[in-house]
Chain A
Amino acid sequence: MAQLATAKEDDAAKAAGRASGRKPFRLSTLMSIVGTTPMILTAVGVFVICILYSFVLSFTNSRIFPAFGAENFVGTDQYARLWSTGRWLVSVNNIWFFGLLSIAANMTAGYLLAVFMDQRIRAEDLFRSIFLYPFAMSLVITGLVWRWILDPNYGIQATVRGLGFEDFRFAPLVSADTAIYGLVVAGIWNGVGVTMAIMLAGLRGVDSEIWKAAKIDGIPTWRTYLFIVLPMMRGAILTAFILQCVGVVRVFDLIVAMTQGGPGIATQMPAVFVIQHITDRSNVGLGMAAATMMLLPVVVLLGLQVFVQWRANQAKGKAS
């Protein structure tokens, strides 16, 4: 809304400016504003007002419907409650564990695949297609397939036992301690191809002179990949990393399809927690407190980014 107001003021100012000989107001500027109305509404309506709305609701005791009466405001009670709710604490633990493990595994495997793909191999396109096709499928499908593969009665475990290894145990989803590893494997299967593609593009972008120089110095290939080329691919790594982070925070479909948060609450995640509290559990206040906590890392990271950029600009200003 604020943006809309300023845009209008701009017009007025420009219209006034015409009389006093300043840059004239053009019909096209108005058209530009009209043309981008959906963007204005989305940017302001969704990414400002909706976020503020959620934030304000997190200080109320709203149940099914939003409640804004004076008696509904309960201060930070919902946050206190949130951080003493077992289900939430498990969710937060899980997202860290799942996030760190799957990002680390995904990046490592992605780089490894990219390096192997970079060895002048035959049928590169075929391998690329094979590594990347899971990404075209939704996480629901990923979850359902892997649930089937890891099914204790029919999946890998049953198959290997059928071959005569009666004591073979491989059913991560059944146990609360290991279910999350199952999710990690499925997530990697889905997403590692993208990391590989980004990393491979990064590898191919490294100056060939570097390779020649390393060769002349007699540095083994694996060391060149690890200690010389890898640090030069900051852009590709950052891209892959950010993509992973966004994916991890949003992870919802995979959980719903694969474990439904179970066994028990062993694979609960913040995204699932929020949705459950605004639907089945009808506890909007608590749900919004959780949603606000989900936004926190994003705001901190973006703030950091803006700060770093601002510092860089300052430094540039001083230098010139």
Chain B
Amino acid sequence: MTTETMTAAPISSRIEAGPRGAKPKTLTASRVGIYLFLILAALFFLMPLWVMVVTSLKTMPEIQLRNIFQWPQQITFEPWLKAWDTACTGRDCNGLKPGFLNSVKITVVGTTVSIIIACLNGYALSFWRYKGANVLFGLLVFGAFVPYQVVIYPLIVGFRELGIFGTFPGIILIHTIFGMPILTLLFRNFFAALPPELFKAARVDGAGFWQIFFQIMVPMAVPITIVAVILQVTGIWNDFLFGTVFAGRENMPMTVQLNNIVNTTTGVREYNVHMAATILTAAVPLAVYFISGKWFVRGIAAGAVKG
């Protein structure tokens, strides 16, 4: 491997290539060191996933043998079934599936609503800036930095007044509110970077606010919408705080239910079930991550760079 990199790459292609670090030179020992470091680091990052999977496939007696890294001698899927179907939180023994369904509902509706609103915001802020719009936008960006704890109590009070505290519309509204700063930023930056001629031409043709939005801007915004969807799906699915406070018992998302299952103090602690439940809860965002690949990274970068 090392000799290949040394000799095979002609100088011209080296200049073209992406990475600009020091070029691999005569020191093969340092190449070995580089891979050793990276592989050790990779093992550190993979270790918890390994432990999760291995533990979830063991029987309780085998867990008592206390070798957390060992592959199960006898694979069992019982813990997975139990985690999904019959694990208990307090007196309820329905497993994670109600939480899963709740999370699906909250994520689908929450993502849709928050993205529609943010897309409209970004569009209006880029092309139809009314007086005071920039101040509002500034407040929104400020909101991206405000610790949630500062506004949670007033929101609880307000939601109680409106009668939506602990309801499905309530949790959707919460995700819409707290997704708005970053998503609006994302869409505004996207629309602001479009060539202004596009907008001007449509104006000359007599198109109005909504026409331009639906016929020109929405179709153009597909790539940024994908980024926004990834950001929101993982964000809402992984939310714990808002789910605990605002969702109420009936709409309890999967993360909250998972935490309740693991922290149920009655009965024997079934670690294999706990780990199976943890994997099940992580499955959706992990699937999003592995399917979306580079888009996911782009989403983080987009959210981070301007944040």
Contact = CB atoms under 8 A, between A and B. Distances in A.
B153 A291 contact: yes
A131 B19 contact: no
Nearest to B44: A189
Which of A29, A57, A113 has the most chain B CB atoms inside 10 A of its CB? Answer: A29
B121 A36 contact: yes
A139 B300 CA distance: 16
Given A32-B128, A138-B282, A159-B66, A120 B17 contact: yes
Contacts of B156: 278
A98 to B, nearest CB: 15
A298 B209 contact: no
B131 A6 contact: yes
A317 B51 CA distance: 60
A295 B146 contact: yes
Contacts, number: 306
Nearest to B1: A122
A135 B285 CA distance: 9
A201 interface: yes
Interface in B121-170: 121, 123-125, 128-133, 135-137, 139-140, 142-158
A123 B233 CA distance: 28
A3 B138 CA distance: 12
A37 to B, nearest CB: 9
A33 to B, nearest CB: 6
Most chain-B Cβ atoms within 10 A of its Cβ — which of A133, A239, A256, A301? A133
B215 interface: no
A115 B239 CA distance: 32
A120 B152 contact: no
B22 interface: yes
Interface string A223-239: 01000000000000001
A133 B142 CA distance: 29
Contacts of B44: 189
A292 B300 CA distance: 29
Given A43-B140, A135-B300, A284-B153, A189 B45 contact: yes
Contacts of B135: 3
Q: SS class of chain B's interface: helix, strand, loop or mixed?
A: helix
Interface in B180-199: 180, 184
B296 A42 contact: no
B140 A42 contact: yes
Given A134-B48, A292-B150, A302-B142, A39 B66 contact: no
A294 interface: yes
Interface in A161-183: 161-162
Contact of A36 (B35, B124, B144, B262): B124
A275 B245 contact: yes
B274 interface: yes
Contacts of B228: none
Interface string A44-61: 101111110110010000
B35 A39 contact: no
Interface string B273-306: 0110010011001101110010011001100110
A294 B21 CA distance: 41
B154 A133 contact: no
Nearest to A143: B259
A146 B20 contact: no
A263 interface: no
Q: How large is the interface on A (under 10, 10 to 19, 20 to 34, 35 or more residues)?
A: 35 or more
A133 B213 CA distance: 36
- Do most interface residues of chain A lie in helix, strand or loop, or is the interface mixed? helix
Contacts of B123: 35
Contacts of B293: 129
B225 interface: no
Interface centre among A7, A51, A291, A298 (most CB of B within 10 A): A291
Given A54-B153, A197-B297, A119 B21 contact: yes
B42 A130 contact: yes
Q: Which of B69, B125, B147, B237 has the most CB of A within 10 A?
A: B147
Interface string B95-128: 0000000000000000000000100110111001
Contacts of B245: 275, 279
A19 interface: no
Nearest to A270: B149
B22 A221 contact: yes
A44 B153 CA distance: 16
A30 to B, nearest CB: 9
A105 interface: no
B151 A50 contact: yes
10 contacts: A3-B136, A32-B133, A119-B31, A119-B34, A132-B289, A140-B240, A148-B68, A158-B68, A246-B144, A253-B255
Interface of B: 1, 5, 15, 17-24, 31, 34-35, 37-38, 41-42, 44-49, 51-52, 55, 63, 65-69, 117, 120-121, 123-125, 128-133, 135-137, 139-140, 142-158, 176-177, 180, 184, 208-210, 213, 234, 237-241, 245, 255, 258-259, 262-263, 271, 274-275, 278, 281-282, 285-286, 288-290, 293, 296-297, 300-301, 304-305, 307
